[in-house]
Amino acid sequence: MYVRALEKVATRYAPSRLLSFGAVHVLVALQLMQQQGRASRDALCKRLGLGGGAAKTLVKHMKMRGLVETSNGGTRMTAKGRAVCQGIMSAMPAEMALPRSPVALGRHNYAVLLKEFGFAVGTGLEQRDAAIRMGATGATTLLYKEGRFVMPDSSHDPLRKEPSLRKELVEKLRPQDGDAIIIGSADNSRVAELAAKDAALATITAHEKHS
């Protein structure tokens, strides 16, 4: 339900031009407002990598859907916007930047915990493809089972020889059995973050379509 709310914001209204933002940009915009209370257009441009016109259109669409309200002080979430943001964050409750490693091969890497959605991950190719569509170099998906990280459709633990990274993931993301971690890799930190979150949203959406 909450992902669909994001997708509706990212739907163009005929005969408008194609949009340069998607559901993940709506999510990160809401997160920015959650962190700062209000967000200026400049702050949205910088955080989302959008031009001024695209950021203006994004805010307009969010406002039309009742997620935000605007004033001279910036844009802030409404009660509906907070509910949508909190709903998404219940499925994606933790995130962190990661250094380069055998499971995070990009110059910049960003990990998102996807709560109780390990069962919805197929081979990991779906998450990789979603990340690439965002301009990333790729994505790695890890499942957490019985206190171990494993690759999808495999019992191989890619962090067996990386105890420090494993410890950092466990301490900061706090995964539990059945969770998935999606790591977006890119040449800059903003794209890595957007890619990981977009791949997570795509995983939720794919499950909902098949359930």
CATH of the domain at 25: 1.10.10.10
pLDDT for the residue numbered 209: 59
pTM equals: 0.92
User: Does 200 share its domain with 106?
Assistant: yes
Strands 94-98 and 108-114: antiparallel
Q: What is the pLDDT along the chain (211 residues), one digit of tens a residue?
A: 889 999 999 887 755 667 789 999 999 999 999 999 999 999 999 999 999 999 999 999 999 999 999 998 899 999 999 999 999 999 999 999 999 988 888 999 999 999 999 999 989 999 999 999 999 999 999 999 999 999 998 888 899 889 999 999 999 999 999 999 999 999 999 999 999 999 999 999 887 655 5
User: Does 111 share its domain with 156?
Assistant: yes
pLDDT for the residue numbered 206: 82
**Tokens encoding 9:** 């914001």
Domain range for 187 is 92-210
User: Does 65 share its domain with 98?
Assistant: no
Residue 200: count other Cβ atoms within 10 Å of its Cβ: 31
Whether the bond between 15 and the residue before it is cis, its omega within 30 degrees of 0, is yes
pLDDT for the residue numbered 12: 75
pLDDT for the residue numbered 24: 96
pLDDT for the residue numbered 54: 92
Among 88, 121, 152, residue at a domain's last position: 88
User: Does 172 share its domain with 79?
Assistant: no
**Tokens encoding 106:** 């990009």
What is the amino acid identity at position 85? C
Residue 31: count other Cβ atoms within 10 Å of its Cβ: 19
User: Does 70 share its domain with 113?
Assistant: no
